[in-house]
A and B are shown apart, each in its own frame.
Chain A
């Protein structure tokens, strides 16, 4: 199994541009989530999904959209990038225990917004 994969690994955007961060998992996990990690801070939850067709907001959802059309994929869309969105983004997945279970993390996408 490839586990949780994320693309791209690095991205530079200009303010106002939009883009989609891709996340895929091949473990048939129900739960998937997106976090951002900023220097000196722990991970903060952006959005999560408990299954195909179901998404919900996390702690810092503003400026981001998600969708879950398949079990495998959980893309994160930045609608109009802002410098405050410069961060490292991690996707995670887990099985039926949801947040009560161990999370499997992708390698991250480092995003810079100029």
Chain B
């Protein structure tokens, strides 16, 4: 399997804290995407970072990409209870989009 790995598998924090999730991948990517999934729902696209980009911001989200280490991180700042969800990274290479197993984030009020 070409699935990447997310770390940690589960993360529990208090509201207001920052949450950092990491993703490692195995191939030479075109881009890397992050998605969010609320319990029992479909995935929602959060952010896309291209292989020639090192950092990208979107609101409270910050994504970094280190192609030399084949890794990416997603930082959610000033977390809210509504951020509770599973977060997936997905690597795009060739004609495939390959998802990792996800990080379950719980933000406690």
Which A residues are within 8 Å of any B CB, using their own CB? 4, 35, 40-45, 58-59, 90, 92, 98-108
Contacts and interface: CB of A to CB of B under 8 A. Distances in A.
B101 interface: yes
Contacts of B97: 45, 99, 103
A100 B42 contact: no
Contact of A42 (B31, B48, B88): B88
A107 B30 contact: no
Contacts of A90: 42-43
B68 interface: no
Interface of B is mostly: strand
Contact of B42 (A45, A102, A107): A107
A92 B90 CA distance: 14
Interface of B: 1, 3, 30-31, 33, 35, 40-45, 48, 88, 90, 92, 95-102
6 contacts: A4-B42, A43-B99, A45-B96, A99-B97, A103-B43, A103-B45
A103 B100 CA distance: 15
Given A98-B95, A100-B30, A102-B33, A43 B45 contact: no
Contact of B100 (A42, A58, A99): A42
Contact of A99 (B42, B45, B92): B92
B41 A43 contact: no
A42 B41 contact: no
